[in-house]
Amino acid sequence: MSTDTFALLEQLIARPSVTPQDAGCLEIIAARLAPLGFGLERMDSGPDDFRVSNLWAIKRGREANGPVLLFAGHTDVVPPGALAAWDSDPFVPSYREGRLYGRGAADMKTSVAAMVVACEAFVAAHPEHAGSIAFLLTSDEEGPARDGTVVCCERLKSRGQRLDFCIVGEPTSVERLGDTVKNGRRGSLSGKLRVQGVQGHVAYPQLARNPIHQSAAALAALAATHWDDGNTYFPPTTFQISNIKAGTGATNVIPGELELDFNFRFSTESTPEQLKARVHALLDEHGLSYQLDWTLGGEPFLTPVGSLSAALCAAIAAETGVTAELSTTGGTSDGRFIAKICPQVVEFGPLNASIHKINEYVPIDQIEPLTAIYRRTLENLLL
């Protein structure tokens, strides 16, 4: 099993699939799934200059109404950055110090390879399995996520495709393989705020209106606001300013506008509408002249403790001896789209310490156990 996973993983890492490029990864995966009896369908989407590759694959079980387990993931990776900063070519799988290095090794080509090989082992051992297995893979997770999983989910919903369980192969482990399973994610709501002032000479402030000075109290109030207390599954909602810009570069000019970016990571205790209303009320209270544009990156989703988390956590314990903790921390993932058509969605994968970094890696000793965990989860749910 480990030999097969390593071989497939090396093939995937060697493909420079910088988002939105798939670079042939899906063709490699499809060639492995077809002999197992998977029906394959490409759901590519997007304009010609930003074409996204998507693959939907499903192998029906012997029971027409049996459960459907979806493996979801992405083949695209973030840009490697300065090649000279890497100790080895990011698109040549390299082994050293007990690690396999390469862009996408952790996020998330190891998970994808392990899922495919786990299915091969499961089908070989249980050719008449009761439930169905599906894959949904995209090359638009690291990008704007407009033509990837979200498009596929809309198509699957329109045709009435039932999904019961989904495992997204995000790298969730923190210190040891299996220590963390994500059973939900916070929502992401971003705002671009433009505060209008009146440009003028710093020596004549009475003839100008400084948007920096005007905004200071409002921004301090926003930063100090307690938005909610969170709940059993989610930490409290957070507000962070990520960028702020004003001025012409000259030291003797009062700026005419301030531009600011901020983001909420919010729990299920707050809705986007509530957060927007509170921000607008605070800005209005401080008498600002402003324009505020909102972008909802994703709503929070949650899978309470149930059959999927139990099956996965039991598989983790059996293969590693680790008791997994359920968590909703971190950024957004494609799980937010899948949760709209699937009642139970969790994320699980290898160590996340190096994701998006120079010299990204996966510990070699995690690859075989990860494959075995996915295989055992299939057994726990579909036999």
Catalytic positions, written as ranges:
76, 141
φ, ψ of residue 279 in degrees (nearest 5): -65, -50
Residue type at 363?
A: P
**What are the DSSP calls for 32-85, one per residue?**
HHGGGT-EEEE--BS-GGG-B-EEEEEE--SSTTS-EEEEEEE--B-----GGG
With CA atoms as reference, report the closest residue to 275 among 377, 348, 184, 186. 186
Instruction: Give how far the C-alpha of residue 71 lies from the chain's centroid of Cα atoms, to the nearest Å.
Output: 14
Binding site annotation covers 74? yes
Q: Is the separation of the CB atoms in 192 and 259 below 8 Å?
A: yes
Total number of residues shown for the chain = 383
With CA atoms as reference, report the closest residue to 167 among 299, 29, 316. 316
With CA atoms as reference, report the closest residue to 43 among 137, 115, 171. 137
Binding site annotation covers 170? yes
Please state, in angstroms and as integers, the Cα–Cα distance from residue 122 to each residue in 116, 118, 119, 131, following that order: 10, 6, 5, 12
With CA atoms as reference, report the closest residue to 58 among 162, 159, 134. 134
**What are the DSSP calls for 131-168, one per residue?**
SEEEEEEES-SSS--SSSHHHHHHHHHHTT----EEEE
User: CA–CA separation, 62 vs 131, rounded Å?
Assistant: 7
Binding site annotation covers 334? no
Residue type at 127?
A: P
Binding site annotation covers 226? no
Residue type at 317?
A: A
Q: Token digits for 80?
A: 């490697």
Binding site annotation covers 142? yes
User: CA–CA separation, 299 vs 156, rounded Å?
Assistant: 20
Cβ atoms within 10 Å, residue 144: 13
Binding residues: 74, 107, 142, 170, 356
Annotated binding site for Zn(2+): 74, 107, 142, 170, 356
